[in-house]
Amino acid sequence: MRTLLLATALVALTGLAVASPTPTDKESLSKRALVPVTVSGNAFWQGSTRFYIRGIDYQPGGSSLGLDPLADPKVCMRDIAKFKQLGINTIRVYMVDNSKTHDVCMGALADAGIYVVVDANNPGYSLHRFLPGPSYNAQYLQSVFATVDDFAKYTNTLAFFSGNEVINDNVSSTVSAKYVKAVTRDMRQYLAVRKLRKIPVGYSAADVAVNRMEQALYFNCGSDDERSDFFAFNDYSWCNTDLKTSQWDQKVKNFTNYGLPIFLSEYGCTANGRDFGEVQALMSRDMTGVYSGGLMYEYTNEENNFGIVQLENPATSTDVKELEGFAKFAHALATYPAPTGDGGASASTHSVACPPKGPHWDVEDTQLPPIPEGADRFFKDGAGIGPGLQGPGSQNAGNQPPIQAPPSSGNQVTDTPAATTSKNAAGETFGGLIEKGPFLMAAWVGVVTIAGTLLL
């Protein structure tokens, strides 16, 4: 089966193959399966072995290029060779084209022992951070669920991000928290109702100090059907220092007893040179009781200069030039392997109290919006083929749904008529990458009481 897939990839590389779809070979996929990663207590597990994310963020060409690197075997095969050299076990992909197959790339990643964290949103199909109501609609969820359908069949899909940096440091954006939480609820419910594998679903928070704690608490409060399976955040505060200087020791303390797995969805400050001491810290007993590793930002070098390889053309180059960071990152991974044993993980998982409204957190009550009109049918019929990355977009496609739904409303599956369609494609506030580092020095204000009373 390996040979078959390899042949497919080689044909693709020589440009003779049809670009898509690649024939699905169910048997070959299942033979190449990795042990699915599950959540138990506050950690990830690969069977009975604790699993740490030792990974990299993978977005060739940045968010503006709009490339799905896992839909093009030429692209992924080129880079998987490098991933193997690095010794990573996970990649994160920021946008995938849910109208295309990912069999070849996911199979090749499985062969390399690499798991994938998939962002379920993309610029055209995402929530609007300031006006989330209308952007939470059936067209949007169809795209999200189509991505879930597509990736749920791969055993090496590690997790889904239900949102990426939707909430930022502007308190006005915290109105979107309810909607992100509703999407998380919907995705988890979709997996359950459609009898798909229980892939962990959670949110990836921006590196924003003023409301990081509130976000973490909010996504893990309330009824079980509304809580996330994990929490992830971006952190650019290490900057070649140590646990104390970077205050990572505080971030361990603050998240102790959080009740869910936590990992860094982006790390890799460049401000002060870069030796990737983060890997040592993340793999040390100082952190493993609370954190499950992280993803280094990032693989390809883009305008913001965080990459460790240079590609002339992310979509077509076959030549990958290693930058200084490549060997350094590989060295850090080799020097600091994942610890054995349970790393001090907690066996229990639990919810926390919801954060109170405050100067940086404008979320009053804990009720979530109900599933938008027209989206119920996906639970019954499946989502069908996704709109891909070139579809009309969904942000302006819906009417504002009523804001209140009783707790546990995510459990109902009823049949309602389809929502009206709209041609408007806004896509203007995709919760995409923000500038790296501007929040580094921001003080943690306003969270003292919350962290102190709820987490200790």
Ligand X SMILES: *[C@@H]1O[C@H](CO)[C@@H](O)[C@H](O)[C@H]1NC(C)=O
Which residues, in sequence order, are CB contacts of 245 under 8 Å at separation 6+? none
Whichever of 169 and 376 has its CB closer to ligand X, that residue is 169
Query: Based on CB atoms, which residue is closest to ligand X, 66 or 446?
Result: 446
Minimal distance, residue 172 CB to ligand X, in Å: 4
H/E element, 264: strand 262-267
* Active site annotation includes 266: yes
**Is there a catalytic annotation at residue 373?**
no
Cα 318 to Cα 327: distance, rounded to the nearest angstrom: 20
Closest CB to ligand X among residues 12, 208: 208
Least distance (Å) between residue 246 CB and ligand X? 8
Q: Which residues of 79-109 are buried (b: 16+ CB within 10 A; e: fewer)?
A: bbebbeebebbbbbbbbbbbbbbbbbbbbbb
**φ/ψ (deg, to 5) at 89:** -120, 0
Min separation Cβ 439 and ligand X, Å = 12
Q: Which residue is nearest to ligand X (CB)?
A: 444
Tokens representing residue 432 in the block:
């995409």
* Gap between the Cα atoms of 6 and 11, Å rounded: 8
Compute the least distance from the CB of residue 175 to ligand X, in Å: 10
What is the full DSSP assignment across 127-191? Answer: --SSSHHHHSSHHHHHHHHHHHHHHHT-TTEEEEEEEES-S-SSGGGGGGHHHHHHHHHHHHHHH
Q: Using the minimum distance from each CB to ligand X, give the nearer residue, 130 or 392.
A: 130
As measured in angstroms, the least distance from the Cβ of 129 to ligand X is 8
- Dist CA 122 CA 422 (whole Å): 18
The answer for residues whose C-beta is within 8 angstroms of residue 400's C-beta and 6 or more apart is 133, 134
Helices in 194-284 by DSSP H: which ranges?
A: 212-218, 248-255, 277-282
What is the CB-side half-sphere exposure of residue 337 using CA atoms within 13 A? Answer: 3
Nearer to ligand X, 60 or 432 (CB): 432
Smallest distance, ligand X to C-beta of residue 258, A:
12
Q: Write out the residues near ligand X by the rule CB under 6 A.
A: 130, 170, 172, 247, 250-251, 254, 444, 447-448, 451-452
Distance CA 270, CA 16 (A): 41
Annotated catalytic residue within 266, 278, 298, 302 = 266
Is the separation of the CB atoms in 400 and 134 below 8 Å?
Answer: yes
* CB closer to ligand X, 204 vs 409: 204
Which residues are the active-site residues?
165, 266
